[in-house]
Amino acid sequence: MNSSKKIGSALISVYHKDHLEPVVRKLHQLGVILYTTGGTQEFIQKLGIPVVSVDSVTEYPEIFGGRVKTLHPKIFGGILNRRSNEQDVAEMKKHHIPAIDLVVVDLYPFEETVASGADEQSIIEKIDIGGISLIRAAAKNHRDVLIIPSRDHYSFLQNILENQHGSSSLEDRRLMAAHAFNISSHYDTAIFQYFNSSGEVKVFKQSIQQARSLRYGENPHQQGTFYGNPEDFFEQLHGKEISYNNLLDMDAAVSLLSDFNETTFAILKHNNACGIASRTDLTDAWKDALAADPVSAFGGVLIANRPINKKTAEEIGNLFFEILVAPAFDDDAMAVLKQKKNRILLRQKSNVVSAKQFRSILNGVVEQDRDVKAETSSEMKTVTNCIPSEVQLADLEFANKIVKHTKSNAIVLVKNKQLLASGTGQTSRVDALQQAIHKALNFHFDLNGAVMASDAFFPFPDCVEIAHRAGIRAIIQPGGSVKDQDSVDYCNQHDLAMVMTGTRHFKH
């Protein structure tokens, strides 16, 4: 059985008219009968091309200001009839229903209208009813009908008209049916999200139209795909293709630095900061960030919240790194950094990240609000007799921001707005602290007068005791343990300052 179908008639009903003219002219050249409505009809007639109005077929006018145009048995019968079904053919003849072989639709711009901040009535009017119904009907009957569900697919249709003489294969029609249901489901998801903005209907619905195949996933034997448009967030100025692991580090880097307003430089490895410092001068911030762990910095992801100048670029250029993210790059800095062809240089265009986070687990998905809370010194409650100094409060706030973005269990040691060391991803908070102390001493830092941040409470005073023996003089933690007082008592006995925030920052 020949699955090729010649286009003899087409229904065209589109919102956007751009790029439509060459398609219409080619259809007319091939002798295709054109059925149209409203604005589309006016557009095609102005081109001097004859059309058949839908209301002349249905013998019923458009009503309710154009809300009802194509919703009629003679239109949907022309699309949904099965050409090989004798009963369908007989009913078509009996009711004088014209066959429609091609449906071209471009939906009302619902998402764009919502994004524009329009009032609710304007948004409601951009919920397409007839167009979405035409798309679904034509896609359902793809064995006989070709659907072009958006202007993005005009080139596909143009190829059929020019290179296949207006005949589509079953494979062509089935592919377009898949695109059609993708568009209709995405459209409906956007409408649902608008009406369910409060989240009262508890279902998981997400739809992202852009997709980028990655070289591989977390490891070479795993396939990887990024769904989204990174170009909305970054402009890649130089370097190799971005990988799955690069994307994870980029997300962690942007999230981390979004909590810092001062001139700050950070170095990340496997989603954790291995170096970060705030200084008045960007080059000094870089040097002090690197000093925290120059070994782990090798092959890391770097991020700054100020433009990269030549002086800083020359310092950075001495290190092998994967990615450098910054809001801008001076021209002479670019000349320095581009000397290595694989270095990925990204200009950050936006700080706006998704308010929700999702993770696939077991046979489902968990969703949570992104942790955007960053406690300031005014939100810290001093619980000890010893009150932290202004310098200590600034360091405690700095450390607390870092520990929030560090894999749990996490301990962070800070002095003069410089990360000295961190203990990351340990099963024991004591182990995390000992790891941090060991690293700090290994890189010759003096911990006397430093501060400590913990992502969760201390169930016992052991961490406080160990930190004190190492030279720590002030501690920040969320509190909440039934044995909080044990840690407070130790601090009071040894003249340590402790503040509590009341907010835990686990990160798994």
Q: Give the model's pLDDT for residue 71.
A: 82
Residue 441: half-sphere exposure toward Cβ, Cα within 13 Å = 11
**pLDDT digits over 293-316, tens only?**
999 999 999 999 999 999 999 999
Check pLDDT > 90 for residue 3.
no
Q: Give the model's pLDDT for residue 59.
A: 79
The distance from CA 279 to its chain's CA centroid, rounded to whole angstroms, is 31
* Amino acid at the residue 230: P
Residue in the block written with tokens 């589509």: 168
Q: Are 413 and 399 in contact (CB under 8 A)?
A: yes
In angstroms, the CA 70 to CA 51 distance is 15
All residues at 6 or more sequence positions from 62 whose CB lies less than 8 Å from its CB, including other chains:
37, 38, 55, 68, 69
Q: Give the model's pLDDT for residue 355.
A: 87
In angstroms, the CA 253 to CA 242 distance is 15
Residue in the block written with tokens 């790194």: 321
Region 118-127 average pLDDT: 94
**pLDDT digits over 234-247, tens only?**
999 999 999 999 99
Catalytic residue set: 140, 270
Q: Are 11 and 75 in contact (CB under 8 A)?
A: yes
Terminal alpha carbon distance of the chain: 57
In angstroms, the CA 358 to CA 227 distance is 13
In angstroms, the CA 389 to CA 393 distance is 6
pTM comes to 0.86
Structure tokens at 463: 């961490």
Structure tokens at 321: 């790194």
Check pLDDT > 60 for residue 1.
no
Q: Spell 250-271 as b/e; 16+ CB within 10 A means b.
A: bebbbbbbbbbeebbbbbbbeb
Listed residue (153, 209, 211, 154) closest to 186, CA to CA: 209
The distance from CA 450 to its chain's CA centroid, rounded to whole angstroms, is 37
Overall size of the chain counted in residues:
508
Supply the Cα-derived Rg of the chain in whole angstroms: 31
| Least confident range of 55-69, 73-87, 319-333 | 55-69
Q: What is the DSSP letter of 263?
A: S
Question: CA-CA distances (angstroms) from residue 449 to 390, 423, 476?
Answer: 13, 18, 14
Residue in the block written with tokens 């809001």: 327
**pLDDT digits over 368-400, tens only?**
999 999 999 889 999 999 999 999 999 999 999
- Return the HEC string of 367-420: EEECCCCCCCHHHCEECCCECCCHHHHHHHHHHHHHHHCCCCCCEEEECCCEEE
- DSSP-derived 3-state class of residue 236: strand
In angstroms, the CA 38 to CA 44 distance is 10
Residue 304: half-sphere exposure toward Cβ, Cα within 13 Å = 27
Task: Give the β-pairing of 272-278 and 264-269.
Answer: antiparallel
**pLDDT digits over 256-265, tens only?**
999 999 999 9
Structure tokens at 50: 């004859």
Residue in the block written with tokens 């639709």: 105
Q: Are 97 and 74 in contact (CB under 8 A)?
A: yes
**pLDDT digits over 12-35, tens only?**
999 999 999 999 999 999 999 999
> Mean pLDDT score of the chain, rounded to an integer?
94
**pLDDT digits over 133-174, tens only?**
999 999 999 999 999 999 999 999 999 999 999 999 999 999
Check pLDDT > 80 for residue 67.
no
| Residue 488 φ then ψ, to 5° | -65, -45
Q: pLDDT confidence of 2, banded at 50, 70, 90?
A: low
The distance from CA 36 to its chain's CA centroid, rounded to whole angstroms, is 38
Region 184-204 average pLDDT: 94
Q: Helix crossing, 170-195 with 130-140: angle to 10°?
A: 140
Structure tokens at 425: 């991803």
Structure tokens at 196: 């369910």
